[in-house]
Amino acid sequence: MAKIDNYRRMKIEDLVEMRDDIEIVIREKKEEATEEFKKEVEDRAKKLGIDLASLYGAKRRGPKAGGGSTVAVKYRDPKNPDNTWSGRGRPAKWLSEYMDRGRKKEDFLVE
């Protein structure tokens, strides 16, 4: 209970910034855990002689059926430069989260 009392004494701006930072760290840790798990599964399958493509289907490589191509990055997350969005289609989740908190997508334009 003492920890929550410390939070209650903090300014809202500090709490929001802390929450944003924590969300980024959680996302990064989930990505790391996913990659580690994926590697473990691949290693285990290799030891057992199991072809993962036969279990889950082969992943497509190359451009999409519609002749898709790589599009330049138009928006970038200043807190995590790996988070980008081309400006096409639905906004990326990271950008939507910022916009839900009152930020404008123009704030994240790549110069």
55 plus 67 within the same structural domain: no
Q: pTM for this one?
A: 0.44
pLDDT digits 0-9 by tens, 28-66: 999 999 999 999 999 999 899 888 887 777 665 555 555
41 plus 75 within the same structural domain: no
Q: What is the CATH number of the domain that holds 69?
A: 4.10.430.10
2 plus 54 within the same structural domain: yes
Domain residues for 70? Answer: 62-111
Where is the domain boundary, 24, 41, 59? 59
Q: How many domains does the chain have?
A: 2
Q: CA triplet 4, 10, 15: central angle to 5 degrees? A: 85
79 plus 108 within the same structural domain: yes
10 plus 54 within the same structural domain: yes
